[in-house]
Structure 1
Amino acid sequence: MLRYRPRSDSQEEETEEVPDFDTLPRVYVERTLAIIKPDAVHKSEEIEDVILKEGFTILQKRRLQLTQEQCSNFYADQHGKAIFPRLIIFMSSGPIIALTLARTNAIAHWKSLMGQITDMESVETETKRAKYGTSELKNAFHGSDSFPAAEREIKFMFPNSVIEPTPSKESTQEYLSRYVNPTLLRGLTELCKHKPFNPCVWLADWLMKNSPNNPQICEGAIM
């Protein structure tokens, strides 16, 4: 791919190589639900500072106290386990802080930052559960286990939130190949032919007029 500079009478046309964007790494931003549990709420400001320093963006924040019924619904996947009754009593015993966090690999990174429940038993572990938790039950934090879980849990804590599905790498590449690349290639070809004084503005204007999403083009295609 070439970028063209305007040519003067005393200057030959110059071209500059630009990166092949297909080879650049793609960044996928995830969202996950984090909960600061009743035993760690008093340290919430300190914990939120740690979260921000780890590269997360806090999209939503809510302080609330769940009823036992709400806790039972939220932890429905834990029903039948021995810890379930104590978990419900503990989680409804005081306020919690629910956070929607976003960053690259948010789910895995928050889980790694929290650490395992068993970390509280090891003084050598530096996870946040080891620092703020005190027992298997009172372990300071909750984090979504997977993307479907994050979607469900964010919706549970923030009922009015709208969560757009994250496209897969394959579907994104298919969309680019089918709809974006052909139009962009045509535009760059026309740019090479015309060699305008301001190529960026010219290309932007051409794409606006020739985009497949242009309503006038769509109407013409239908007619």
Structure 2
Amino acid sequence: MVDSPILLQSNNFLERTLAIIKPDAVAKTNEIEDIIMRAGFTILQRRRVHLTLEQASDFYSEHFGKKIFASLVEFMSSGPIICLLLARSHAINIWDELIGPPNTYKAQQICPESIRALYGHDELQNAVHGSENQICAEREIRFFFPESILDPIQTNQLVKDYLAKTVNPTLLKGLTQLSKVKPSDPVGWLAEWLQNNNPYKPRIQLSEGPSNVA
């Protein structure tokens, strides 16, 4: 389900999204987290929170004025919730597919293996929350994880490519020299060698000043 070709795009960066296990499904946290991990997500941070009415109102402020708003705020502040900061490529879209439609009955009909179909009860008590898009994800992550850095996370392959191009050639030369010299302080020797042989070190070229000709 999560490997739909519709979701294929560049994998240079991992995307982050917020997941919330709602009060009705907190007892199933271990099972839900197992589904999350098997879908290729990394859980970067986890918080158990019991929202006040004011905090729930603030979080769901975009629904203010809708018929469901009061019931939603009351339900989300009725007990503890588990907030998860998730990361993987295409995190927002894949999490949306994994949890299924907001209405539990619809989820059971068209996505019987989705989290809401398995653990939800109705449209309100539907087990989990997911960020709708990138803008919502950033706002919601900051709400529960204000200390989180939201710069893109590079994937392992991109990091390997970067190191192979910019660091490894010089480092390999240094390690080769180190194995020949065998100094008593290998770390200090290598650090000094890298500093002296840094290919990115600015080269200062002194130019002759104007001659003082009378």
- Do 2:16 and 2:137's aligned partners in 1 also have CA atoms closer than 8 Å? yes
Judged with a 3 Å threshold, the aligned counterparts in structure 2 of structure 1 residues 123 and 110 are, in CA distance, closer, same or farther, namely closer
Query: What residue is the counterpart of 1:132 in the other structure?
Result: 119
Following superposition, the deviation at residue 90 of structure 1 comes to 0.3
- SS of aligned partner of 1:49: helix
Judged with a 3 Å threshold, the aligned counterparts in structure 2 of structure 1 residues 27 and 138 are, in CA distance, closer, same or farther, namely same
- SS of aligned partner of 2:66: coil
Deviations 1:60-114 (A, max 9, x none): 0010100010011111111111100000000000000000001111111101100
Report 1 or 2 for greater relative contact order, CA contacts < 8 Å, sequence distance ≥ 6: 2
Following superposition, the deviation at residue 118 of structure 1 comes to 2.8
Deviations 1:34-80 (A, max 9, x none): 00000000100111111111111000001010001001111111111
Aligned counterpart in structure 1 of residue 55 of structure 2, from 48, 59, 70: 70
Query: What residue is the counterpart of 2:148 in the other structure?
Result: 161
- Do 1:132 and 1:139's aligned partners in 2 also have CA atoms closer than 8 Å? yes
Could you list the runs of 5+ residues in structure 1 that have no partner in the other structure?
1-24, 173-179, 192-198
1:39 aligns with 2:28: no
- Do 2:104 and 2:121's aligned partners in 1 also have CA atoms closer than 8 Å? no
Aligned counterpart in structure 2 of residue 90 of structure 1, from 68, 75, 92: 75
| Runs of 4+, deviation exceeding 4 Å | 203-206
Determine what percentage of the aligned residue pairs are the same residue: 46
- Do 1:31 and 1:106's aligned partners in 2 also have CA atoms closer than 8 Å? yes
Could you list the runs of 5+ residues in structure 2 that have no partner in the other structure?
1-9, 176-193, 208-214
- Do 1:129 and 1:139's aligned partners in 2 also have CA atoms closer than 8 Å? yes
- Do 1:28 and 1:105's aligned partners in 2 also have CA atoms closer than 8 Å? no
Q: TM-score, normalised by structure 1?
A: 0.66
Deviations 1:126-145 (A, max 9, x none): 21111111111111111111
Judged with a 3 Å threshold, the aligned counterparts in structure 2 of structure 1 residues 165 and 26 are, in CA distance, closer, same or farther, namely closer
- Do 2:16 and 2:86's aligned partners in 1 also have CA atoms closer than 8 Å? yes
Aligned counterpart in structure 1 of residue 92 of structure 2, from 107, 112, 115: 107
Query: What residue is the counterpart of 1:49 in the other structure?
Result: 34
Judged with a 3 Å threshold, the aligned counterparts in structure 2 of structure 1 residues 53 and 87 are, in CA distance, closer, same or farther, namely same
Aligned counterpart in structure 2 of residue 201 of structure 1, from 172, 178, 185: 172
